[in-house]
């Protein structure tokens, strides 16, 4: 069993996919903490419905990223968290957490990186008029969606595709791919530890 913390800022449908995968035994992990930077975000409701502890913080209340990340780090250490899993967390991870979790922070992004990094990757792909986009899972480094790529999956943009229909296709891929890839990473790590 791998102890993880899931960081989210919004709807939390990927958090839900991880909760569900754990529930059916497809992902051997335990969510020790849900970290959220937005009061009222639906990911917090999902966490409480699943009886998961959550930590909500107001970034503006702190002097710097280092200060609030130190606070988060303390919570992660208290709970023996081994991996940070980002699921729609809308902030850049700073040196405090990056140094404490080297190659242990993973993100999912709704494009085929390095194309369309940053905010609104789905809108960027539609605006660019490409016929192919997708989903990327990668390790997090100090850049915006620049870390080493772990897995990618293509999603075709059909003629007449709307934002809604594309979002739906991308989310469906994300919800299947994220638990699967995390399970692979965690089981490989366990093999190496044995």
Q: Least Å distance between CB 49 and ligand GRF?
A: 15
Nearer to ligand GRF, 98 or 122 (CB): 122
CA 108/CA 152 separation, integer angstroms: 10
Q: Establish whether 138 is a catalytic residue.
A: no
Q: Least Å distance between CB 190 and ligand GRF?
A: 26
Q: Least Å distance between CB 122 and ligand GRF?
A: 7
Of 109, 138, 171, 175, which is the active-site residue? 109
* Nearest of 83, 78, 73 to residue 4 by alpha carbon: 83
Contact positions toward ligand GRF, by CB under 6 A?
A: 8, 10-14, 87-88, 108-110, 174
CA 187/CA 66 separation, integer angstroms: 32
Nearer to ligand GRF, 81 or 135 (CB): 135
Nearer to ligand GRF, 70 or 172 (CB): 172
**SS3 category, 117:** coil
Q: In Å, what is the CA distance from 143 to each residue of 52, 53, 75, 93, 147?
A: 30, 29, 24, 9, 7
Catalytic machinery residues: 109
């Amino acid at each position: 069993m791998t102890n993880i913390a899931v960081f989210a800022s919004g709807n939390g449908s990927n958090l839900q996919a991880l909760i569900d995968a754990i529930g059916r035994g497809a992902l051997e992990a335990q969510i020790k903490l849900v970290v959220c930077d937005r009061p009222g975000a639906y990911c917090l409701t999902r966490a409480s419905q699943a009886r998961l502890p959550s930590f909500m913080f107001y970034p503006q209340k702190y002097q710097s990223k280092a200060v609030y990340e130190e606070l988060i780090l303390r919570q992660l250490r208290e709970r023996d968290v081994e991996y940070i899993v980002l699921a729609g967390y809308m902030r850049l991870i700073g040196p405090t957490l990056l140094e404490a979790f080297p190659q242990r922070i993973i993100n999912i992004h709704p494009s085929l990186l390095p194309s369309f990094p940053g905010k609104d990757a789905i809108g960027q792909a539609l605006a660019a008029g490409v016929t192919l986009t997708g989903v990327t899972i990668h390790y997090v480094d100090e850049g915006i969606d620049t870390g080493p790529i772990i897995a990618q999956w293509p999603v075709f943009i059909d003629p007449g595709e709307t934002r809604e229909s594309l979002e739906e296709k991308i989310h469906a891929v994300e919800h299947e791919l994220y638990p699967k890839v995390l399970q692979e990473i965690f089981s490989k790590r366990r093999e190496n530890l044995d």
